[in-house]
Amino acid sequence: MSAFREANRKAFNDLSATYNAKPWQHKLSQQVSDALQARRDWLGIQWAQSNNKYDRDVKLLDYACGTGAITRALGPYVTTIRGIDISEKMVEEYNKAAQSSGLSTEQARAVVGDLVAETVPSHLIGDDYQDFDIAIIGLGFHHFENPPLAVHRLAERLKPGEGVLVIIDFLPFSHERKVEQQYREQNPGADFPEMSHTIKHDGFTEQDMRRMFGDAGLTDFGFEIEVEPAVMELKSGTRERKIFIAKGRRTGHA
């Protein structure tokens, strides 16, 4: 694991117990959930549930799953969920939340892993981590060391001809760097646990996402921007960012 990914692992381990403790965190999680649910048809998935009946198997990969915000949003519409995160503490929180919600480990479980590592761990190579109908990264993409490789690796895990990759993240927010630097200079030695050292990319444009999806062989590209900004109450001040949702479908034959 690279030094940068190790920094992410440690930071998210430290945050795991209080990750959704603040009102703004709850609201942000709900914004993501609402955005996905409002776009279920737009995503282009034949969901498991229709007319309140489960009539087909649908497999979801919740990548960089954290405590399971994506799983909670789309859990009612799929039959099998697999979460992956580099933070073992986040994985523990995910599995506790899944079990407490009544889901069996066969229905939903997370494991520690990294699909973007130089060598993919052996426990992520089996059938359980292949042929997903939908794979989603929810607000974790800007922490990734190599986003194009991540898109490529996740695209390979989708069901050929059907599987859809969805990335929810932020439009560019590079202007925040100057504000954070000023805060550090004005508060030397102050605790600054706001994950800035784990952010690799200051957001993405539609062109960025279209290029990465195309290079990974994904088609039917779609890109939408949420009207309401995400509001984060950080020690260095209030931040507003715009959320986007990008999607693309794997080509090939099932």
Residue-wise pLDDT for 64-101, tens only, equals 999 999 999 999 999 999 999 999 999 999 999 999 88
Nearest to 43 by CA among 51, 32, 35, 53: 35
CB 168 within 8 A of CB 139: yes
Give me the number of domains the chain comprises.
Answer: 1
Percentage above 90 pLDDT, the chain: 65
Q: Is the pLDDT of residue 180 over 80?
A: no
- Distances in Å between the Cα of 135 and the Cα atoms of 64, 68, 195 are 11, 13, 25
Q: Both tokens of residue 83?
A: 């979460």
**Residue 36's CATH number:** 3.40.50.150
CB 140 within 8 A of CB 64: yes
Full domain range(s) for residue 49: 3-250
- Distances in Å between the Cα of 168 and the Cα atoms of 69, 152, 254 are 12, 16, 26
Residue-wise pLDDT for 110-140, tens only, equals 999 999 998 899 999 989 999 999 999 999 9
Residue-wise pLDDT for 1-26, tens only, equals 788 888 888 878 877 677 777 888 88
